[in-house]
Amino acid sequence: MTDGYHHGNLRAAVLKRAAEVIEEEGPHSFSLRSLAADLGVSHTAPRHHFGSREGVLNAIATEGFLILAERLRDNREAGGDFLETGVEYVRFAVDHPAHFQVMFTPTLLNARDPELAAARTAAFDELVTGADTVAEAAGDEPAAVVGGWSIVHGIATLALTGNLDSSGVRSLFGDADLIDITRRSAGLLFASPSPRE
Amino acid sequence: MTDGYHHGNLRAAVLKRAAEVIEEEGPHSFSLRSLAADLGVSHTAPRHHFGSREGVLNAIATEGFLILAERLRDNREAGGDFLETGVEYVRFAVDHPAHFQVMFTPTLLNARDPELAAARTAAFDELVTGADTVAEAAGDEPAAVVGGWSIVHGIATLALTGNLDSSGVRSLFGDADLIDITRRSAGLLFASPSPRE
DNA sequence: GGTGGAAAGTTGCCAGTGTAAAGATTATGG
DNA sequence: CCATAATCTTTACACTGGCAACTTTCCACC
């Protein structure tokens, strides 16, 4: 379908390239014009698919929430407990660092986008559902939900921003990868020993 | 000292105004030119104090790490335990949301700035020192350090980005403020009942 | 098989931004 | 009193996002 004039699949190409750029340089320095140049199209071509720069970021966030919701659902249906839900959360952040960053930076997004709102709600509902299975045992159910979410969100955020490394804390774990670190750290929250396979 | 030509205290005024703007609209949309216009100086005046836009952000991050290190040290010297260290961490994020955001977004910063590196190291050392006091009791010391830091960092990040509200999770706590939520949630990590005063 | 929209992409323009060099103004130490 | 440094301004340039008008291609319909 690429005829020299029409790109063929510009929307998907923009999302893919945008995620690469954001992963490398952060969302603030991502430019529609240099993105279009990378893809060999004019600087206004992406506007026909996304409307604006904010539209691209909204699309990335929406895509991210949909992927996260799907992963959490798959994990729940496969019988994964709450700790495994948290591990899956961190794994998503590692696999899709650009999406994760954009999803949780609301100043980059248009909160009134209904598609984004729906995708976010789906992911958050799945997260809280996963928490309910263990929250009753913790004595303080709301605290268990916030604690579980916060600890894995904190691990993901600190790891992605490099602060786990620059603080020297990561080296305390030797050569353990981030998933192992997550199991050991988040495992403390509910005093359930971390399963290692 | 304000003589109509020289501002008198431009450096401090820029830092103050920049923090306000970043708190309201995020660091990506903070502009040196509109900042200078707000302060009634030419758009290049801040460059003589900070060198570049990145220089302003570095200065904010440095200031933030110094304030955080001071707070954590004061808390430790006042006999605060590790939970109280975490509460102080969240309190800092609430009191200085712009600083917190910039401090933990390394793509905004120049990592080779020695002043920034020194301030960051001071804050992180203080944080790990606070963790050591309780980590031995947790069985897995590195996991306790990462777990404690991550849970309060996660709470602060999710709260500042509005995700605790938009997910509906915060309403589970009624009208409790974020500090109470922190005590209850982070308190679960070490199975020590949360003190309420 | 034309034909008339609709979709996709391009060109040209404007306002706003960060950075840089060079000049103007004021403070300060000898 | 004067030279020098610090501070601030002016002017200029390259880059960015958004907008309007135009061109090319696709597609559905008669």
Q: Domain coordinates of chain B in residue numbers? A: 1-51, 53-190
Reference B85, options B97, B95, B75, B74; nearest CA is B75
**Where in B33-146 does DSSP place strands (E)?**
none
Q: How many CB atoms lie within 10 A of CB A80?
A: 17
Task: Specify the pLDDT at position A192.
Answer: 45
Please report the sign of the dihedral spanned by the C-alpha atoms of residue A41, residue A43, residue A45, residue A46. positive
Burial B118-132 (b: 16+ CB within 10 A, else e): ebbebbbebbbebbe
Nucleic strand D contacts from chain A, 106-125, CB < 7 Å: none
Task: Specify the pLDDT at position B135.
Answer: 59
The 8 Å CB, 24+ separation contacts for A76-80 are A76/A126, A76/A129, A76/A130
**Closest nucleotide to A8: CA versus each C1':** C8
A132-151 average pLDDT score:
82
Chain-centroid distance of CA B42 in Å reads 30
Distance from the Cα of A138 to chain B's closest Cα (Å) equals: 8
Task: Specify the pLDDT at position B196.
Answer: 35
- Decide if domain A52-189 falls under CATH 1.10.357.10: yes
- Decide if domain B53-190 falls under CATH 3.40.50.300: no
CA distance A61 to A119: 9
CA distance B45 to B32: 9
**Closest nucleotide to B41: CA versus each C1':** D8
Can you read off the two tokens belonging to residue A182? 């997550």
B149 in contact with A, Cβ within 8 Å: yes
Can you read off the two tokens belonging to residue B130? 């606070």
Chain B residues inside the 8 Å CB shell of A171: none
Task: Specify the pLDDT at position A119.
Answer: 97
pLDDT digits 0-9 by tens, B38-68: 999 999 999 999 999 999 999 999 999 999 9
Chain A residues inside the 8 Å CB shell of B108: 26, 28
- Decide if domain B1-51 falls under CATH 1.10.10: yes
Task: Specify the pLDDT at position B7.
Answer: 72
Reference A150, options A195, A57, A99, A86; nearest CA is A86
Total CB pairs under 8 A between chain A and B:
162
Chain-centroid distance of CA A60 in Å reads 10
Q: Is residue A90 within 8 Å of A182, Cβ to Cβ?
A: yes
pLDDT digits 0-9 by tens, A85-125: 999 999 999 999 999 999 999 999 999 999 999 999 999 99
Task: Specify the pLDDT at position B100.
Answer: 98
Task: Specify the pLDDT at position A6.
Answer: 72
Please report, in tens digits, the pLDDT of each residue of chain B (197 residues total): 566 667 779 999 999 999 999 999 999 999 999 999 999 999 999 999 999 999 999 999 999 999 999 999 999 999 888 899 999 999 999 999 999 999 999 999 999 999 999 999 999 999 988 777 665 666 788 999 999 999 999 999 999 999 999 999 999 999 999 999 999 999 998 764 333 33
Chain-centroid distance of CA A179 in Å reads 15
Chain-centroid distance of CA B95 in Å reads 8
Reference A62, options A73, A44, A45, A50; nearest CA is A50
CA distance B122 to B145: 16
Chain-centroid distance of CA A162 in Å reads 16
Nucleotides in C strand less than 7 A from protein CB = 7-12, 16-22, 25-27
CA distance A137 to A159: 29
Considering only alpha carbons, which residue of chain A is nearest residue B184?
A143
DSSP assigned state of B109: S
pLDDT digits 0-9 by tens, B173-184: 999 999 999 999
**Where in chain A does DSSP place strands (E)?**
none
* Chain B stretch 57-86, residues whose beta carbon is closer than 8 A to a beta carbon of chain A: none
**Closest nucleotide to B11: CA versus each C1':** D7
Task: Specify the pLDDT at position A8.
Answer: 78
Phi, psi angle pair for B168, to nearest 5°: 80, -5
The residue lying closest to nucleotide C19, measuring its CA against C1', is B52
